Each structure stands twice: as structure tokens, then as C-alpha cells.
Amino acid sequence: MPANLRKQWSQELADKFFLPSAILEARTFNEQIKKRNLNPFVQDAIVICSYQFARGKQPYVEQIDWDLVIIDEAHRLRNVYKPTNKIANAIKQAVSRAPKVLLTATPLQNSLLELYGLVSIVDEFTFGDLKSFKTQFSRLNGDSEFSDLKDRLKSVCQRTLRRQVLEYVKYTNRIPITQEFHPSDDEQRLYDLVSEYLQRPNLYALPSQQRKLMTLILRKLLASSTYAISGTLHGLSIRLGEAAKNAEAVQTPPEDVSADFEALDEIEDEWESDEESEENGDGTKPQDIFTPEQIVEMKQEVETLKEFSALAKSIVRNSKGEVLLTALHRGFEEARERGSSEKAIIFTESRRTQEYLREVLEATEYAGKIVLFNGTNSDAHSKAIYEKWLERHAGTDRVSGSPSADKRAALVDFFRDEAVIMIATEAAAEGINLQFCSLVVNYDLPWNPQRIEQRIGRCHRYGQKYDVVVVNFLNKKNAADQRVYQLLAQKFKLFSGVFGASDEVLGVIESGVDFEKRIVDIYQNCRSEEQIEFEFDALQREMEGEIDDRMRQTRQKLLENFDEEVHEKLRVNLRQSNEVLDRYES
């Protein structure tokens, strides 16, 4: 499982099933070795570890005759059919002999090839090799191909949707709120300058193989805050300056980009092409040798980046940040009307923006009631919360022995018991349960609908007693931002209703990643409001063709083999629960 889910699995195995477990990471692994356990995966308990750890210890994992291997958030392994996906292939090989269960609540993001990849982990022979699968099922035009695929999936794939269990499991509604803001003249100038820069045909600062990906990241940071983009621009100028001195191409983005934009590695994996290629996006090879004229151009670009960074640093008041307090007050008022307590989680895509928002809110009535949550949780306040949590739970099974997993648990507990606001990066969009919170604030909005659904799903999930209020920020001076929001809200239906998007639309669209790439293309290629409107109209018409009843019914027939036995168990459990309640109340 992803590292951030280890503690949750350990706790729920103990709480719900009274099953002992052991979290394996570098420290606990080495402790076992010192105790002369030459394969620490041999335990008198269920072994829990991360994807990365399993890959690193592949020879140890392969030696075990597992009774069962559970792979959680299995959509992360969907690209296992690509040789470039090292982690997925290592895990597949390591557990090839074991019975397996793959779990995911995230719809497949791309073509049926992802389905092929996941099925191949369970059973290598269901579809044969990749070439054979493509030949048979790349287009499901005829009834025979469709029926054949459906029959083969029956034995290995089960898909249960929320609306199928609504009779037994009660879900609350989603209530959307839009918070508009108007950028200042300086903010708009910075946006225009950086946007024009990103639209240049040649850029030396961005790795040629990752130009589209890095363009996405820069645009997201630009929309997040001036603090986020200024640091990144500074890092790019330094990296390009070094490359110019050595007359070499920039091969990788600055290290502080991934430190600030924590979702970079996962997005990079989602965006990777079917084949590892050394070609640029235009089919040309990356340049190895630069002419003196090009080196001059590189140095000029360094100065341009420095100017942008200086402008960004000079803007200390962010229009979006200025209306955050207004958005929180509106959200809390809506939540209180529905009986909810005052708790809010604010999502941002940038660590720098996270720190900026903390400073903004510490100057308000929420001072001392804020907790941060990110990929490291290494700030002084988080460390103090963790130390107190360790003292409180010393000697209990709440302490797993994994510092990173326990620190996450400590921060969630602090949010539930003491804090009012959690400011989180994408690290909190997966693997934590926040049913006690019913206000989600998307300070920065991802363009991939699946990522938004994951965020809202932290609060809008089984056990939530109140309607969940979802606040989204909207830049009124940016036509493209407005159209993106319109698509996400009206076509994907992410922010309203009982089901959100996952039941209806996310499993129907061809790909959240492809949608994200299309948005980047529009931002990159359109230089006028008229062009933006034209391209978004075209994209919307295309999506309306995908999101129709016929296609939805087709996908449901293929993937929704809802087990009647499960239905019966839910029905019995509901009846028994009602009988117990009746006896208790009488």
C-alpha cells in the first residue's frame, strides 16, 4: 500500500478484526535482522509495508509462501504493462505465486490497457500478452468482443458503486460554494508575463522531455500563490544558469519543485508515455551541443526568470488569500445550518502556499487552532503534536513503531480533538478518514477530476453524518479558469449531489489524465479570450458525447457485476442492526 496508509491498515485490522500486524520499514526491518530474523517478512502477524519498500526488498518478499497478498490503492499499479514502471513490475514479480486481492476506489484513468495491467497482476493468463489483448479488445465494436471481455472479467473483477448500497449505507449530500476573487494589477501582470513565457516555442529552463508536465506544474503554482511561483522561478533560474555555464541541456527540474509540489512524482508516473523515448514532444532529439548564440539565449532566459521571481516576491498580498477568511465564514455558516461542528480542511497544491495560508489564518480568530499536514510533517508544531501523542499512547497498540505513520495519526487526532482547521497538501488526499469534518476548501483546484474526488472523499464518505460543504475559489479575471471550473462543476458534477462524480462520470470519461493534458494544451495554445472560448466549447461538446446514457450503460454492463450475495449480507446486517436498536430503545 502507499506509505501513508500503513498506520490506518494496522489500526483497523486491530480495531475491527482483532488481528495483529507489523509495519515493516527500514528501521523495523533492520531491528528484525539484528534479532537474527534473516527474513523480517516472516512474522507472527500480518505484514504491512509500502510499495517502495516492497520493491526495495523484492528478494525477501519472493521467498515467502504467502496465504494472501492484499494490494491497496491498486490503481497505482495500473501501468504495470509498461516496462518503464519499475515499482509495479517489481511488486508483480515479487508476489506472482501468491493469491491476491487488489483494492481501489479510484476509477481507471485511461484506456482498457489499465484494466489489462491490473488483471495481469491477479492472473497473467486471463488475457494473454499485451499484443493479443490489443488485437482483440482495442475497440469494442461488436457484441461478440464485448461479451468475451465481460465473461473474462467476471471471475476476476467486482465493482460496487455507492448508489448500489444506498439502501443499506446512508450518504449525505454535497453543497457547493464558489468564492470569487479579482487579482490585483501586479498579480495579473505576473500571470501574463509567465504565461507568455511558457508559450514560447523554445524554452531552455524546462527539461525537453517533460515540457508539458512542467508547464502544468508551473501554471498550477502560478495559480496557487506568488510565494509558490517565486520560489520555483528562482530555482529554475539557478538550474538554467548552471546549465549555461557548462553548455549543457537542463535534464531535470530543480529539486525544490518536487519538495514544494508534492504530487509531482505521482503525476509524472501518470503522464509517462507508453514507451520510454529520448525524443522531444515535437519528435526531435534533445540537444547535446549548444552554439554560442544559444548559450547567450540561455543566459538571457536566466535573467528573465530572475525578473519574474523578483516581481513575484514583491507581491506580498495575494487576492485569493485575502478572501480566504470570507470563504471560511461562508462555509462554516452553511455547515452550522446543517448541524455540523466547526471543522475545515483546506487543500493546496504547494507547500509554500500552505505556509502562507498558515500565516494568514494565525492572524485571525483561528490562531492556535490550525494544524498542517504534508508529505513530511516536519515543522516544529507537528513534531510537538507527535511527541505529546506518543506520551499519551505509550504502551498501547495505537503506537505502531513507524514514526511517519504514527505522525500522520497524531495530526489527524489533533485535528479531530483540538484544531479547527487543517491546511493540507495532496498528501492528505489519500488514506486518512475525516468524517468528523464536513467543510472541504479547494484553495487550489486540480485539473484531474479523480484527484478532486479523492480530496472530497476524505470527508464525504461512510460515517459522515452531515452534508459536506465544498468551497472552490474562482479567478474572475481568468476566462480559462472559469471554463475549467464550469466543466468540473456542471459536466463532471463533482461538487453536488449524493454521489459526487465517481459513480456517474469518472468511470465513463476516457481519462482524467487526458483531460488534464487537454486543459494544459488550451492554456498553452490560446492567446485570446475568443480562442479560449472556442477550444473549451469544442472540449465540452466532445465530453457531452462521452458522458451519455448509452456509454454509461455500456460501462456498467461491463464492470458492475454487483454480487447478489453481498447485497443479501447487507440486507441481513441492516435487519439485525435494526432489531438490536429496537431492543435497546425499548
Return averaged pLDDT per consecutive 10 residues of the chain, 586 residues in all: 86 90 92 94 95 94 96 87 88 94 70 80 85 75 70 78 68 91 96 95 90 93 96 94 91 88 82 47 57 92 96 96 96 94 96 97 96 94 96 88 88 96 92 92 90 89 91 95 89 67 45 79 92 90 63 52 52 63 58
**CB contact set of 46 (below 8 Å; sequence gap of 6+):** 13, 19, 20, 21, 22
Query: Angle, to 10 degrees, between the axis of helix 211-224 and the axis of helix 226-245?
Result: 140
What does pTM read for this prediction? 0.80
In DSSP terms, 372 is beta-bridged to: 423
C-alpha cell recorded at residue 440: 472541504
The secondary element (H helix, E strand) that includes residue 155 is none
**From the CB of residue 116, how many other CB atoms can be counted at a distance below 10 Å?**
21
Query: DSSP strand E in 249-311: where?
Result: none
pLDDT at 379 (0 to 100): 93
φ, ψ for residue 69, nearest 5 deg: -120, 125
CB 171 within 8 A of CB 162: yes
CB 172 within 8 A of CB 307: no
- The gap from C-alpha 72 to its chain's centroid, in whole angstroms, comes to 15
Question: Which residue do the cell numbers 505513520 mark?
Answer: 405
**CB contact set of 19 (below 8 Å; sequence gap of 6+):** 13, 45, 46
Burial class (CB in 10 A: 0-12, 13-18, 19+), 585: exposed
- Whether the CA torsion 453, 458, 461, 467 is positive or negative: it is negative
How does DSSP classify residue 286?
A: P
pLDDT at 342 (0 to 100): 93
Q: At residue 436, what is the residue type?
A: F
pLDDT at 140 (0 to 100): 60
Say whether 70 sits in a helix, a strand or coil: strand
φ, ψ for residue 248, nearest 5 deg: -135, 160
Separation CA 232–CA 238 (nearest Å):
10
φ, ψ for residue 291, nearest 5 deg: -80, 160
Burial class (CB in 10 A: 0-12, 13-18, 19+), 306: middle
